[in-house]
Amino acid sequence: MCGIVGGIAQRDLREILIEGLRRLEYRGYDSAGLVLIQPDQRLQRCRRLGKVQALAEAVAAEGLSGSLGLAHTRWATHGAPSEQNAHPHLSGDQVALVHNGIIENYQELRSAQRAAGHSFSSETDTEVIVHAIADQMDQGHDLLQALQGTLGQLKGAYALGVICQAEPERLVAARHGSPLVIGLGFGEHFIASDMAALLPVTQRFIILEEGDIAELSRDGVKVYDAELRPVERPVHESRLSADAVERGEYRHFMLKEIHEQPRALADTLEGRLSADCLLISAFGYAAEELLGRVRAVQIVACGTSYHAGLTARYWIERYCGLPCSVEVASEFRYRQPVVLADCLFVSISQSGETADTLAALRQAKQLGYVASLAICNVAESALVRESDLVLLTHAGPEIGVASTKAFTTQLAALLLLLGALGRSRGLIGCDEIELVAQLRSLPGLCERILQLDEPIRALAEAFVDKQHALFLGRGSLYPIALEGSLKLKEISYIHAEAYPAGELKHGPLALIDEDMPVVAVAPNNALLDKLKANLEEVRARGGQLYVFADEAVCLSETGEGYTVLALPHSAQLVAPIAYTLPLQLLAYHVAVLKGTDVDQPRNLAKSVTVE
Ligand code: HGA
């Protein structure tokens, strides 16, 4: 999604803003732009369709410099990706603005502004904001008052940064529905939609809250509420270092993040397990009491996080005996769900800023759930701040758009939730000691699976010229098949579908031929024989099978049309996590062989902060 960086300093900001945009590239974007107030007080803007590198070259060639400025990466929602629609947007040569989010009433505002004599140079919803601010200034308001006066006219979601030629000592910003942080320096201050953008210049941040307006000068930062009353906001010290978001020796962030999973899982479990039990207070101080009351679970998430939720449903119903529903957030938020008594609302999101998931949480709070729990990778996110209970996945920054370590750490967190829910009523057919032992085995198990990188790369060659692929799994491995197919389609653009293997004969079997590779995940569990029978149905119709199977499983039928890759044995509960890794590697190697943009696949964005 879009990224914002801005700042006011004594030094030239050009390179700092460009570096900030580079650090936001992972979020996905189609164009980039920058505006600086030049030493002669003119606003000078430069925009480019495509990569930040193209913008960097253009601003260097045009010699832009200045110590007050704004920069933006745009992921189009209104108006095609183009230089004309890229931010910053200007009103005349007076006011410049960058915006993340969507203005829902922009058409109405646009008509009124057109009638009042404004001409529009873009098709975006954003441009109405900058003209509205300019109008307010024409009526005699200063920049801060003009911003506040304008916000009252807007419906929708925004994070905004604004500067104007008339006030070269001030940058103003506002947040409503889209994230925005302030980075605090010495004699210089910054704004950004994500802390990662500012890590080279500061580790100290103020996280703006809903409705906040901020005013930055070289001397300091003031934060106001929507009525421009001063408010106090705490300063957070980020634990992230600037190089936490660097690729190191790896060719892509995605590959780095796949290989970081043993560490990310160990970090996620650290402090949450004692020798033989879970530390439930890791969910929040009221967790033991609140989770003890839970009689049902509703999970809401999007994309990969939704697949984590689907896996957890198998666990929670099987081992806790609690009814568990899972739904994508964009559907949940517009339904009138029936809430079961003492139901826990669980939201899952890597960024904690996913617009649909956040809206679903806000809706859930009106509906009488016993408590809300966020499983999230970003401590400072809105989802975390607005939930009663929180379990952070300590995956570290995830830059590749296609989620990897965020997913497996979400699954580990959901296993911790399973144990916490089972504490008061007892787990069925498993005990906490066993769960803890399986969790502890995870980092080592994942290390061993990642050693299969080379055979998986070799296997990927069979997929490069294919148009379609099918993924199969059963039970708690079915959502892993879904996740594997999502990875493949996201980064290799091969059309991939996943089915519960038993569902094949009800339709998709018709698709099977030698051009349709079929990938299956086959741990050694109670459904293995059923799965094998389903795989035979594929082979009998000439399908090409690629099976990731437990080393102890004898898939004696190997041979023509049957490629088996043996995985080290994984215990029942953690098998969905273990079997995710080869599917991530498969998708990665297919994409590399196809030459796609692995870390920033076309049309996709990392943290989806618009609806
Ligand atoms: N609506 C604006 C900004 C889009 C955005 O925030 N994307 O993440 C536009 O289309 O330019």
- Among 565, 556, 516, CA closest to 532: 556
Predicted local confidence at residue 533, as pLDDT: 87
pLDDT digits (tens, 9 = 90+) for 552-574: 876 655 577 889 999 999 999 99
Task: Report the chain's C-alpha Rg in angstroms.
Answer: 25
Pairing verdict, β 189-192 and 181-184 = antiparallel
| Cα 414 to the center of its chain, rounded Å | 17
502 Cβ contact list (under 8 Å, min separation 6): 474, 530, 534
Phi-psi region of 432 (alpha: psi -120 to 50; beta: other; left: phi over 0): alpha
CA separation for the pair 150, 145 (Å, rounded): 8
- The pLDDT of residue 565 is 93
Give the residues surrounding ligand 1 with Cβ less than 6 Å away. 1-2, 74-79, 99-102, 124-126, 609-610
CB atoms within 10 A of CB 478: 25
Give yes or no for residue 338 having a pLDDT over 80: yes
HSE of 349, CA atoms in CB hemisphere, 13 A: 31
Supply 599's token pair.
């870390």
Contact between 189 and 216 under an 8 Å Cβ cutoff? The reply is yes
pLDDT for 351: 92
Q: Please give the mean pLDDT across all residues of the chain.
A: 93
* Residue 91 binned pLDDT confidence (cut-offs 50, 70, 90): very high
Structure tokens at 464: 């490069």
What is the Å distance from ligand 1's center to 490 Cα? 21
**Cα(87) to centroid(ligand 1), Å:** 9
pLDDT the model gives residue 286: 78
**Best residue for ligand 1 mutational test, from 49, 97, 103, 125 (most atoms within 8 Å of Cβ):** 125
Q: How far is the CA of 161 from the centre of ligand 1 (A)?
A: 13
Please state, as a whole number, how many other Cβ atoms lie within 10 Å of the Cβ of residue 527. 19
pLDDT band at 147 (very low <50, low <70, confident <90, very high): very high
Q: pLDDT tens, 220-279?
A: 999 999 999 999 999 999 877 666 677 888 999 999 999 999 999 998 998 788 777 888
**What residues act catalytically?**
2, 606
| Interatomic CA distance for residues 23 and 21, integer angstroms | 5
The three state secondary structure string of 5-43 is: EEEECCCCCHHHHHHHHHHHHHHCCCEEEEEEECCCCCE
Unique residue bearing structure tokens 């890597």: 350
Measure 595 CA to ligand 1 centroid, in angstroms.
28
480 CB contacts (<8 Å, ≥6 apart)? 307, 311, 473, 521, 576, 579, 580, 583
| Ligand 1 atom at shortest distance from the alpha carbon of 86 | 11
The residue to which tokens 């590749």 are assigned: 400
Q: What is the pLDDT of residue 77?
A: 84
Distance of CA 248 to the CA centre of its chain: 22
Per the model's pLDDT, the better-predicted residue between 302 and 2 turns out to be: 302
The pair of structure tokens assigned to 218 is 């070289």
Retrieve residue 14's tokens: 């050009």
Q: What is the pLDDT of residue 272?
A: 86
Per-residue tokens: 116: 């009042």
Tell which atom from ligand 1 comes closest to the C-alpha of 78. 10
- DSSP secondary structure code for residue 281 in this structure: G
What percent of the chain is modeled with pLDDT above 70? 98
Give the C-alpha separation, 296 to 279, whole Å. Answer: 21
pLDDT at residue 523, rounded to an integer: 92
Query: What digits encode the pLDDT tens for the residues 407-432?
Result: 999 999 999 999 999 988 888 888 88
Distance 71 CA to ligand 1 centre (A): 14
Mutate to test the pocket of ligand 1, among 31, 78, 98, 129 (most ligand atoms within 8 A of CB): 78
Burial class (CB in 10 A: 0-12, 13-18, 19+), 526: exposed
The reported pLDDT for the residue numbered 555 is 63
d(CA 228, CA 224): 5
339: tokens are 């809430």
Atom of ligand 1 nearest to the CA of 103: 1
Mean pLDDT of 289-314: 96
Predicted model pTM: 0.76
Nearest ligand 1 atom to the CA of 1 is 8
Between CA 594 and CA 489 the distance in angstroms is 12
Rounded Cα–Cα distance for residues 170 and 168 (Å): 6
Instruction: Name the more confident of 519 and 26.
Output: 519
Ligand 1 midpoint to CA 52 (Å): 17
Atom of ligand 1 nearest to the CA of 609: 8
Cβ neighbours of 166 (radius 10 Å): 12
Counting atoms of ligand 1 from 1, which one is nearest the CA of 77? 10
pLDDT tens-digit series, residues 3-13: 999 999 999 99
pLDDT-derived band of residue 607, with 50, 70 and 90 as boundaries?
A: confident
The DSSP code sequence of 328-389 is: EHHHHTTS-PPPPTTEEEEEEESSS--HHHHHHHHHHTTTT-SEEEEEES-TTSHHHHH-SE
Alpha carbon of 540 to ligand 1 centroid (Å)? 50
192 contacts 179 by C-beta, under 8 angstroms:
no
Residue 227: what pLDDT?
Answer: 96
Average of per-residue pLDDT across 356-381: 93
The pLDDT value recorded for residue 554 is 61
Retrieve residue 137's tokens.
């200034």
For residue 230, what is the DSSP state?
B
> Hey, is 598 helix, strand or coil?
coil
Residue 42: pLDDT band (50, 70, 90) is: very high
Q: Which pLDDT belongs to residue 278?
A: 84
Q: Which of 359, 342, 261 is nearest to 302 (CA)?
A: 359
Residue nearest to atom 1 of ligand 1 (CA): 102
Q: Tell me the three state secondary structure of residue 217.
A: coil
Q: Residues 131, 137: contact at Cβ < 8 Å?
A: no
Question: Which class for 242: exposed (0-12), middle (13-18), buried (19 or more C-beta within 10 A)?
Answer: middle
Least confident of 22-31, 89-98, 216-225, 378-387: 22-31
AA letter at 457? R
Residue to mutate, 49, 73, 124, ligand 1, most ligand atoms under 8 Å from C-beta: 124
Q: Are 471 and 481 in contact (CB under 8 A)?
A: yes
Q: Beta 68-74 vs 31-37: how paired, if at all?
A: antiparallel
Q: 124 pLDDT band (50/70/90 cuts)?
A: very high
**Amino acid identity of 483?**
E
Candidates 29, 77, 78, 84: which one to mutate for ligand 1, based on the most atoms within 8 Å of Cβ? Answer: 77
With vertex at residue 465, the alpha carbon angle to CA 459 and CA 468, rounded to the nearest 5 degrees, is 90
Torsion of CA 2, 94, 7, 142, to 10 degrees: -110
